[in-house]
Structure formats: C-alpha cells, structure tokens
Amino acid sequence: MSSRIENCFRALKQSQHIAFMPFITAGDPDLQLTKSLIGELADRGVDLIEVGFPYSDPIADGPVIQSSYTRALEQQIHVREIFSAVGELDTQSLPPLVAMVSYAIIFRIGAENFVAQAAQAGFSGLIAPDLPGDEAAEFFQVVRARNLDLIQLVAPTTPRDRVKQILNSCSGFVYCIAVSGTTGVREQVADELLAQLRWLREETDLPLCVGFGISQPEHIDPLRDLADGAIVGSGIVRHLQDLADGKSDRDSVIKTIGNFAARMSTTCHSE
C-alpha cells in the first residue's frame, strides 16, 4: 500500500509542481499555537509539514531552531503531549506530517512504541537526524511496518558509497542538505548541491527535497528539474522569536508565517 507521502509526490509530479514543506517546532511557545500554525499552513497550500520535536542537543540545527527548541523545552513539553496535540487534529485532511525527532528520544521510548504512537497520532513519516543512515536498516523495517516513511538525510559531502547504503533504508523522499553545516538562512544555492542532485537522480527514484538554507522564493528556480521539493525551517521559525521577544502577537505571527508559506507555495507550484 502506498504511503501518504508517496501519494503526495506522485500527484505533484503529475502536476509538474515542486513540493513546499515548512518546518515548525512543536510547543514553541505552546502546543495550541503549534496546532493553529499547522492549520494555517494547510490552508495556505503547503504540501507537507515538518514538525520538530524539541531536543536539548540537536545535531544539525542552527541558532534559530535551537532557540526555538529551548523555548519549547522551558515549558517542559513531553513527547506524549505532542502526540496528543497532533492527534486532536483531523490529520487525514491535512498535508502529510513528518516528525523530525532525535533517535535518542525514539530509543528512550522504544522504537516500536514510538512509531506506533506516531502512526496513531497521524504522522506520515519520520526523520531521525542522529541515526546513521547506513545503520538504519532495523528501524526502517519498524517504520515501514506501520506504512510510515523513514526519510534519510544526505549532504554534498557524504561519500557516494555511503549514500548508496543510506538509500537502502530510505522511503518517502530523500532529504538533501543544501550546504555543509547547520540549518539557517543563506543567500544562494550552492553549486555542489546541484551536482549532487544530478547524481542522485541517477541513483534513486525517490523524490529529492532540499533543506538547510532554503529561505526565499529566489532559491526555488535553481532547483527546478533537479529537486522535487523545498524545505524551509529557520526562515519560518525566526518569526516565533518575534513572538517570544514581544515584538508580535500570536495572530500577527500566524498571519506572517501564513503569508510567507503562501508565497513559497505559489513559487513552488508555478511551472
């Protein structure tokens, strides 16, 4: 049976559209706002939504997302509360939700238990950035048994032999890191990324989605004909800092993020 993520990309390919996938932090500043943002993003035409599970030692996130995680953790947010909040949504009517979650959290809860809860809450896929992609075979089977997808990350610096191993335990799409280093807003798309995307096109039929540094509509055009999706994290989460600093109220932040998402979706969906 096809997963929701597979069906999503199949429909986008038929329409010759690039997927737009925003990232938000669960629980920053609280889960009620998280639910409101998910609804707003869905209404603005995004294709998938990545939900970050706050963690005290994120492996690849830049300062904007780290700060967001810290604010959520200061509220003593728990995984069970995230699952409960997401489970209150009508997830079948929403774009597929993808959990970005440290494998340290998954391991503590237990792989089978965590994946079962994720599926019940309505998530369609998982990204575990600190689980080595070439060591993920066992967890991949656990995830696929629930008809969820395990999305793997590859960077321009990942050796190609290792990329081939990673692809063996990957489904849904490949998360292609745009640049070496951590997440954050950058000015342009690196040539080394474009070269890797061309190579990956020959190695896998999985959709290729680009994240880390994608932050504005101008970043989309170089990806056309090479990538199947664009992921934006810091470019969205930074608006939650304005809320934390008292520079914006909740409604304004939701509207600002929604307007940005609408512009990005329109760009991704234009031919």
Write the CB contacts of 69 (distance below 8 Å, at least 6 apart in sequence). 25, 28, 52, 54, 55, 56, 58, 61
SS3 for the chain is: CCCHHHHHHHHHHHHCCCEEEEEEECCCCCHHHHHHHHHHHHHCCCCCEEEECCCCCCCCCCHHHHHHHHHHHHCCCCHHHHHHHHHCCCHHHCCCEEEECCHHHHHHHCHHHHHHHHHHHCCCEEECCCCCHHHCHHHHHHHHHCCCEEEEEECCCCCHHHHHHHHCCCCCCEEEECCCCCCCCCCCCCHHHHHHHHHHHHHCCCCEEEECCCCCHHHCHHHCCCCCEEEECHHHHHHHHHHHCCCCCHHHHHHHHHHHHHHHHHHHHCC
Active-site residue, 61 included: yes
Separation between Cα atoms, residue 248 and residue 191, nearest integer Å? 37
Catalytic entry in 6, 28, 47, 61: 61
Active-site residue, 50 included: yes
Catalytic entry in 6, 28, 47, 50: 50
What does the block give as tokens for 48?
Answer: 């998938």
Which CA distances in Å does 136 have to 32, 69, 132? 33, 25, 6
Catalytic machinery residues: 50, 61
